[in-house]
Structure 1
């Protein structure tokens, strides 16, 4: 269930970013209202996600996949340029998110208390 919440948080964040672009600096009412709705929804679902997924992993996936998806939307919908360097950078983001997930799943939880440091 937590991964479904995270996917919804990502989709809402991407919709919020698209609304931000369409709002033209808060000069258009509907996209401006949608921007607030979508970002609020994104934070709502991200908060639910954090009940059971480590914040480091959840935030990396949320922000990383948001970057990837909004880059695709920018290229396809807003006709933004995409360069080889952008593609390499996005590949590195994806590699980082995958690495964090693999490390998070395979590692034994270790707790360090302040008194032990």
Structure 2
């Protein structure tokens, strides 16, 4: 259940980030409202995940996967381009999350 909560926190963080961009500096009320609601839901689920997942582990996964998925949203929804250094950086983030989860005793 703890990783379901963390997954939901990540999903709502990505939704919130997409709508933050769409809000155009909070000048559009509907995207701004969705952004606020998505982040409230995100932090609620993150708080539930933190009951049983260590803070450093949960935050690394939440932030790392949030960055990767938000970058994907920026490419797919907003037609932004990622250059080679950005792609390499994202791969390092994914590698860090994988290493932390499969090899660190901190994650368990």
TM, length-normalised to structure 2: 0.94
1:11 partner SS: helix
Equivalents in 1 of 2:81, 2:74: separation in Å?
8
8 Å Cα contact 2:54/2:106 also seen in 1: no
**Higher alpha-carbon Rg:** 1
Match of residue 79 from structure 1: 79
Deviation at 1:108, TM superposition (A): 7.9
Deviation at 1:99, TM superposition (A): 1.2
Match of residue 57 from structure 1: 57
Superposed CA RMSD: 1.4
| Unaligned residue ranges in structure 2 (runs of 5+) | none
8 Å Cα contact 2:23/2:31 also seen in 1: yes
Aligned residues: 107
1:4 is the counterpart of 2:4: yes
2:80 partner SS: coil
Equivalents in 2 of 1:52, 1:102: separation in Å?
17
TM, length-normalised to structure 1: 0.87
Give 4+ residue runs of structure 1 displaced > 4 Å after superposition: none
1:38 is the counterpart of 2:61: no
